[in-house]
Amino acid sequence: MKKLIYIASAPIDFAKLDGVAKKILDQCNAFYKAGFDVDIIYRTGQSILLYNIESKISKYLRKGRSYLDVLITAKKLVGEYGSVYVRYPKSEHFLISLMKGFKKFGAKIVIEIPTFPYHKEGIHSLKGRIIAYLDKFFRNQLHKYVDRICTYSADDEIFGIKTIRTINGIDFSRFIPDLTPVDSNEINLIAVSSMYIVHGYDRLIEGMYNYYKEGGDRRIHLHIIGEGDVDEDYKALVANRGLCSHVTFYGKKFGEDLNALYKQQHMGVNSLAIHRQDLTQESTLKTKEYAAMGFQ
């Protein structure tokens, strides 16, 4: 069986799987079904671990709590895997060094860029601008070591590397849609995300405000699940627009708690402002989850 290592840039908490972690597991299960012996190297809390898809066992490797610690630890595994899949955050010295190490032993390397273009991500802070600068400098070396870039964009080539164009997907077997009719006297909307500026829920909140300002009388309730960069901005906007009785914030929800909220809704809300990141198309996980739950 061919050995593949999946290098996860995001932390994974198996007790509280978020959307990204679920996607990583779904991808690795697909790789396993395709004939690979798959290990995921990831971080959780203050530990770096190696999780095997077939055995479902996590092996403790060392202390560490950052993506940098994951990269440094993964370098010790160079030579053990013939295939490498990386969920790409940004480029920097340690990522390039790791790719160089795997390529030296003949590994096939695929990097997945979840959002492209991404040049406006995180640039509103000093730390974000530093990360963007380092990425711009180091990503020009990727073509020396990376065989393909997996993208959800329409690009045939990124950073001088041929792409694998695909769409985001989920394992529909994980979902049991509840098609029981809910109260039709009001419209219940659910928005589940990590709360970045591209999600644009402020546009929906402003739309609700204008609807009631112009005399609308249909009861609309927006349920926002998640935490991130802009959720506090949303809360302030809701209060400012007098919509506290129409918008409820739940913070992060997982598992059965999230499923219980799904069952009360009519429609799911996807990203409404991808133009803020100069995107013209997207392929989000959330739309697939909404569809799996039977939403419009």
Tokens 């160089």 belong to which residue? 100
pLDDT tens digits, residue range 74-87?
999 999 999 999 99
Separation between Cα atoms, residue 75 and residue 179, nearest integer Å: 48
pLDDT value at position 100?
A: 97
**Among residues 190, 154, 192, which one has the least CA distance to residue 286?**
192
Separation between Cα atoms, residue 85 and residue 32, nearest integer Å: 13
2-166 and 173-292 agree in CATH topology: yes
Q: Give domain limits for the chain.
A: 2-166, 173-292
The DSSP-derived string for 84-135 is EEEE-----HHHHHHHHHHHHTT-EEEEEESSSS-TTTTTTSHHHHHHHHHH
Worst-scoring range by mean pLDDT, 36-40, 152-156, 174-178, 194-198? Answer: 174-178
Rounded to the nearest angstrom, the gap between the alpha carbon of residue 65 and the centroid of all alpha carbons in its chain is 19
pLDDT tens digits, residue range 53-109?
999 999 999 999 999 999 999 999 999 999 999 999 889 999 999 999 999 999 999
Cα dist from 79 to 5, 113, 252, whole Å: 11, 24, 39
Question: Which CATH code, of 3.10.50, 3.40.1280, 1.20.120, 3.40.50, is assigned to 2-166?
Answer: 3.40.50
Confidence check: pLDDT of 212 > 70: yes
Architecture of domain 173-292: 3-Layer(aba) Sandwich (3.40)
**What percent of the chain is predicted at pLDDT more than 90?**
60
